[in-house]
Each structure stands twice: as C-alpha cells, then as structure tokens.
Amino acid sequence: MQRIDQFLSTIVPGIVGADRIALGPRETLQFRQSVEGSEYPRRFYATNMSDGTLRAFGSLVAVTQLANGRSSVSLVGIEEPETALHPAAASALMDALREAAERTQIVVTTHSPELIDQVDLTREALLVVVSEHGTTKIAPIDKASREALQRHLSTPGELLRWDQLEPDREYLAAQMKLELREGSPELGTRARSADR
C-alpha cells in the first residue's frame, strides 16, 4: 500500500495516500490530499475524486495485488490506464507498470501517444491491434515502423498520431498459415460435411 501511495502521489500531485473506510455495512475509499496552509491533509471520499485519480488508483492496485505474497497473479490486463489522466502523468504510470512487470506479466491497451512513447523497445513489446473484416489481429509493428524507430526518425507516439503504426503483414500471414495447419483436420471435417 505504501508503494501505491508513492506512485499515486507522483501521478496525481497533492494526493498523499488512500485508506479503506467502512461506512456501516459498506466500504469505500478515502483519499488524503495535502492542502496549502493546512498542517493536516484533507480527506475526500472516492465519490469526490476525479475519474483519472480513481482509474490510476485502480491500475496501481491491479498491478500490485499480492505483491508481498508467496505468488503474484500471473497476468494483469488493463485497458487504457491513462484515461482521464494528464498526459504528463504517463511517465509515472509507466514506471509503476514496469516495476510491477518484474513480478507478473502486464498487458496494456492504449490509444495514448504519451504512454506509448514511454515504452522501452529494447525490453518491452509494442504490438499493433487491428480489426479487419470483423477479425481482431495482433502483430508486432511492421518493418517500416521499426526502421523509423531504430533510426530515430520518429517516436512510437508520433507514428500513432500519424496513423502509421501498422502490423507486420508477414507475421500475420505466418500466423494465419499456422492456424490453418493446426486446425486442418477440423477444417477438412467441416468441408466434407458441407459437401453432403
């Protein structure tokens, strides 16, 4: 919890921590926020906090769950953790995700150029997801994008802004062949039953 508070105060300046509070038979969160001129932090219930603060807190809790236990969760998936956050918070958020990735696999989907620019391409995977003809396809970035990044002609975020992050078509073709080969007996059965 202490580490969550540290990251949260970096992502949302002024927040010094959060506590679980019982309100009769219900539970909620109470955030502590430093206020200029006040010796003690003010306390706000979750209903009074911004969506960005709540989403950042939720992402931090998700990636640190069971961190001190004997075994952490094996996979955490977070969709658009940067939603409703100031773009400048992307670096702190990525630091938290990266630290958690030392214990468990983290998968993040995003449309944020700022967050994508925080990806360390030497240690982390950047995959492109596209939907074509009702099918979702996932692949590494294409050769032209990789070359632009390696030559420092642009950043991943810039490529995203320019709609130039494309999936590697050769990888997708090889993936399709593998799927057809692995499923060929089933496909053959379907074809024979369709002929009847």
Dist CA 19 CA 1 (whole Å): 9
Determine the distance from the C-alpha atom of residue 157 to the mean position of all C-alpha atoms in its chain, rounded to a whole number. 15
Contacts of 85 (CB under 8 A, 6+ apart): 11, 52, 55, 56, 93
Residues (pLDDT < 70) of the chain are 66-72, 182-196
What was the pLDDT predicted at 192?
40
What was the pLDDT predicted at 103?
85
- Angle ∠(91,95,96) on CA atoms, nearest 5: 120
What was the pLDDT predicted at 182?
65
What was the pLDDT predicted at 25?
94
Q: What are phi and psi of 176, to 5 degrees?
A: -65, -40
Q: Of all helices (H) and strands (E), which one includes residue 157?
A: helix 156-161
Dist CA 192 CA 146 (whole Å): 43
What was the pLDDT predicted at 146?
92
What was the pLDDT predicted at 189?
42
What was the pLDDT predicted at 156?
94
What was the pLDDT predicted at 187?
45
